[in-house]
Each structure stands twice: as structure tokens, then as C-alpha cells.
A and B are shown apart, each in its own frame.
Chain A
Amino acid sequence: MLAKNHLQLITYKAYADLRSEAAKTIMGFLWWILDPLLFMGIFYIIFGLLMKRDTKDFIPFLLIGLVTWRWFQNTVSHSANSILGGRGLMHQVYVPKIVFPLVIIITDLVKFTCVFSVLLLYLWLSGFALNPAYLSLPLVLMVQLVLIVGLTLLVAALVPFLPDLKFLADHILHMLFYMSGIFFAGSSIPERYQAYFYLNPMANLIEIYRNILMHGAWPNWRALALIAGLGGVLTLLSSRLIAWNDPIYPKWIPQ
């Protein structure tokens, strides 16, 4: 377990990094909203206008997928180099190495919170009202967080030993981006492939989010429980892995 001082360090470092990042640009904090808006704008132009599909409510359908996917992708991708990036610090003071990926998880969580709030606002304004299924939303968000933490810690733990994994991880993420049903519904793919499609936790989560936010439908509890279990096991194993390698990282990572 992390000591109280280390928890203070993690939260303060996350706060410091966010402040510093915002101060680098003229528009500062606004970029946390603007950046994803521009990103989504591109997909809106391409898929919402140019390649307009007949699917009803395609824009909210697309945005829910993009926003929740981006949270997942950004955190995993950013944290891949987190322990390597701590080389300057870990050779000067003793820092539990798990601090480095945890800081990234927090900063990306804060940014996601901003974007997700904007998404909810957009949905409410375009007629998708609050509904009873929203009660399950915090739980779904928690499950995705657990999944993100598990994968993030795993990638962060391994990259210092296998730096090439960083490139591989980015490509796998890119592939999953197209295979998580951001642009299409799971029901629209051939039936014999659907079982494989739903092996991807993000595909399930994105569908669950859409069901809650757009259709007022309750989540698929079984899928949710399985994802939570997977995330939990990954988190446990990966944090053990990082703790176990804690004294070894400074030996591997050149100053």
C-alpha cells in the first residue's frame, strides 16, 4: 500500500502537471475541451456529413463512442512511457514507481471529466433526456476506470524492459479504435463474427454507454461484471508486477 505522503505526492503532481500544461498555451484549460471538440469535429465532417449514413442519430451515436474511447486510448498510450519518463526523479529520490502511471491516470481522468460533461450537455440539448438508467452510469464509468487502470499499469510496467512494446501498443490501440464499434453498431456486423466482436471490452462498454444515454436502457450486467473482473485482476497483477520490479527499474533505466 502507498503511504499517505505518496498519495499526496500523486495528487499534487497531477495538479502540477495539469496547471503546467494549461499554462503552456494561451487558451490554457480551454484546450481540454477544444482539443477533443476539434478531434470529434473531424469525424463529424467525415462521417456525419460527407459519408452520411442512414443510421438515425448518428452524431450522438458517434460522439459517445469517440469520447469514451479517447479516455481509454489516451490514458493507456500516455502512460506507456511514464516509468521511463521518471528516470530523472528515480535516480535522485526514492519514489514508488507506481506513482508515475497513477499521475497520468489522474490527469487523463480530469480531462475526460471535462469532455464527458460537455457530451452530456450536448445530449441533453439535442433531446436525449435524463432517464432512470443514468443511475447505472457512475458504475459503468467506474468499471471503465478499473479496466483503464489495469491495462495502463500493465503497459507501464513492461515498457521499461521492452521499449518496443510502446510502438506495438499504439498499433494495437489503433486497430481496436476501428474494432470497438465507434462508427458502427455491433448488431450491424455479420452474426457469426459478433461473438468475437464482443470479446473486446471497449466494444461492450461503448454499447452500454449508448444504451444508457440514448435509449434509457439498463446495462448488460453480465458484460459489466466480466469487464470489472478483468480490470480488477489486471490491476492487481500489474501493481504487484510494478512493486516487485520497483528496485529493478533504476538499474534498467539509464540516467
Chain B
Amino acid sequence: MTAGSPVLTLRNVGAFYWRRTGYLKKNRFWALRDISFELHQGESLGVIGRNGAGKSTLLQLLAGVLRPDQGSLINHGAHVALLSLQIGFVPYLSGRQNAILSGLLLGMSRQEIEKKLNEIRDFSELGDFFDQPINVYSSGMKARLGFSVAFQLNPDVLLIDEVLGVGDAAFKEKSGQMMREKIRSEKTIVLVSHSPGTIRQLCDRAVWIDNGTTRAEGNTVEVLERYSEFIKNKEKPG
């Protein structure tokens, strides 16, 4: 794929969840109503919105976990993965075994994962702990392992939710820095946040969603300006 060509195209996408509201009763809850934007090869796209705007649902749609119920989402052939920590970790298994399991869940083959195990161990800085059961890990160590797996498996499009950097302070800095590098590199990234600062710092373009609807798309500075204005007006009493 060449830089700039579309990777994902969303046109008037909507998605709902079923909510059980009583005995044999169910309701549709529309988490997304009308989302349109395009993700291009090599760009870092920031998605900004308030809590409950539909950001998590949008990530699930992009990751292929949910399918749109209206509109269309076209994937132009990319492997999209959510950078989440500790996907499918099983207690009492070693870090290595959990890395393999996570990798398989992220859609890699066993052979591909085996090739990357050394990099995953080095990046996670777990040392000898890599071959010990993860129930002896601190929560920071688990996060490091999960982050390293998702990071080293290198999908075409990386979806990142909010928090940059995980684990203890030193690893936080390292992972944050690695992610910034990745975001600034040729990598295609979607970064979801409710903080304009992170997005201004890292993203080429931005999309603002509110109440499940695209409110603005385009240049980061312009979109963030409109978002800030909207927030300011909301906060004003009356």
C-alpha cells in the first residue's frame, strides 16, 4: 500500500447494542449513529470526544469486533489490532506461553509468534521472569508483557485507547516514547482520547465525535479548536 491511500473508509456508520430491559424485552441502544471518515496509509488519526461519545464502540468497529448496523465500513485489506494490555492472559502460565496465546488471539500464526518471542522478551524487560508463571508478576510486569506482545506483533493499523505508556515509571517513559516514535513513523494509527493535548502532540489529523455522530474531521488544530469551544459552551451555566 502506498502512503496516503485509504486503509479504512467509514460512511454514515451506525452500530447498536442490545439491552435487555425486562422479561423477554430488549431494546436497541445506538452507541454510534452517523460516523464518517477515512483513515489513510501512514497517518496518525486522533479521535476526540467526551466520555460516552461512542469512542470505545468506534474502536471495536475498527478492530472488527463489531460490524456496522447501518452505513458501510470498508477495510482496504489491512490487519487492524487494538493495542490492549493482557489480551486473554491465563494465570499460572509463563510469560512466554501467555505471549504465544495473546499473539494467536491477535490473529498471528504460531510460527510468526515464535520468531518474535525474543524481541518480545527483550522489549518487556522481564528477563528471567519471562519463563515464570505470570501470577508471580506485579501488575506493572503484566502490563509490560501485554504491551510488548501487541507492540511487537506489528499490525498494519494500531488502535490505541487513551493512556500512553504503561507499567512503572521507567517503562512508562519507554513505552510512551516507543509509541510516539511509532505514531510519528510511517505506521497507521488511530488514537482515541478525551484529552486535546495528547492528540495535538501526536496526530496529523483529527475526528471529533459526539453522541455517536461525526462533528468535525480534518486538520488537528481546527478540529480541536471547535471541540474546545464546544466544551467551553457546555460548561457555561445556562
Contact = CB atoms under 8 A, between A and B. Distances in A.
Contact of A91 (B65, B91, B101, B110): B65
Contact of B104 (A9, A91, A94, A247): A9
A91 B60 CA distance: 7
Contacts of B108: 5
Given A12-B104, A250-B66, A19 B93 contact: yes
Interface stretch (B79-87, B118-126, B204-212, B227-235): B79-87
Contacts, number: 73
A222 interface: no
B110 A252 contact: no
A8 B92 CA distance: 20
Given A20-B93, A251-B16, A5 B107 contact: yes
Contacts of B100: 12
Nearest to B106: A93
Interface in A211-255: 247, 250-252, 254
A93 B87 contact: yes
A142 interface: no
B133 A94 contact: no
Contacts of B90: 16-17, 20
| CB-based closest 6 A-B pairs | A23-B92, A9-B104, A94-B64, A20-B92, A247-B67, A20-B90
Among B16, B18, B108, the one with the most A-chain Cβ atoms within 10 Å of its Cβ is B18
B16 to A, nearest CB: 7
A62 B81 CA distance: 52
A8 B65 CA distance: 20
A89 interface: yes
B58 to A, nearest CB: 13
14 contacts: A4-B109, A9-B104, A12-B110, A16-B93, A16-B98, A20-B90, A24-B91, A89-B105, A91-B60, A92-B63, A92-B87, A94-B63, A95-B105, A252-B17
A78 interface: no
Contact of B109 (A5, A19, A252): A5
**Contact count band on B:** 20 to 34
A13 interface: yes
* Size class of the A contact interface (CB-based, 8 Å): 20 to 34
Choose among A4, A23, A90 the residue with the greatest number of B CB atoms under 10 Å from its CB. A23
Contacts of A90: 65
B91 A9 contact: no
A32 to B, nearest CB: 16
Given A20-B90, A94-B64, A5 B18 contact: no
B97 interface: yes
Interface in A51-109: 88-95
A137 B88 CA distance: 37
B88 to A, nearest CB: 5
B101 A12 contact: yes
Contact of B92 (A19, A251, A254): A19
Given A5-B108, A91-B65, A252 B18 contact: yes
